[in-house]
Amino acid sequence: MVNGKTSLYGIIGNPVVHSLSPVMHNTAFAALSLNGIYVPMQVRNVADGLRGLAALGFTGVSVTVPHKETVMEYLDEIDPVARRIGAVNTLLFRSHPDSGAVVSRGFNTDWLGSNLALAEQMKLEGSRILILGAGGAAKAVGFGLVEAGAEVVICNRSEERGQELARWLDCRFCTIDQLAGIQADGLVNTTSVGMEPHADGIPIDPDLLSGFSVVMDIVYAPLATTLLKKAAAAGCRTIDGLAMLLYQGAVQFKIWTGKQPPQDVMRDALLAELAGQ
């Protein structure tokens, strides 16, 4: 029941129509009998959007593309880890205890989400992981793996951008042409290759997949990407994009509410939503 005591949450991005976060978080609120509602909001101007969120009394907000870096300019406080990564995907709004003014604080839960998803299938410390891509998601995934004690290798079509990320992570970079010579325990695709409506795409030569024990794809539409299908056929253990989405969302939920999120319920809601699309 939405009423005057309902806490407001949501996600900002452009676009947001495809987001699965609303069903995940609203199901969690209902499961714990919390009076909260989570809504998708298409935001083009971040500065205006944040002023509106604060004025309307929002408690917590997810941030998705293309605003994860831009939003940092307009926040009152930024968690040290999010500042190091250079991207924020979670906002918390609180009233200042003295002035009563709304204070916005930014966090990054993407790196935790990817680490937790990968840890389901492999030991991170001491492992070598190949990351495909060099965008914001690759940066968060790479940061998390380095923090966990893994050795990271970056591969990206744009060599300049890939080398820049590799320097930031203090790790190795390889070109697409050099992939055949890379040996690693795991592979993570952080690119959009294979995402609907181009679901037939695959970011790596399928013949190379047998060289990895674990393959993870952060794409979740479709859930069984061409990469994951080919990886499973090659004998790899696979992790779909729902895992990272779930785990990063669970950390968000804990930041916002202080309560342990009902992860099984959230996962079931995500699967049901995907099945109905």
> Active-site residues: which are they?
68
Rounded CA separation 143/247 (Å)? 16
Beta-bridged to residue 216, according to DSSP, are 188, 239
Rounded CA separation 245/28 (Å)? 14
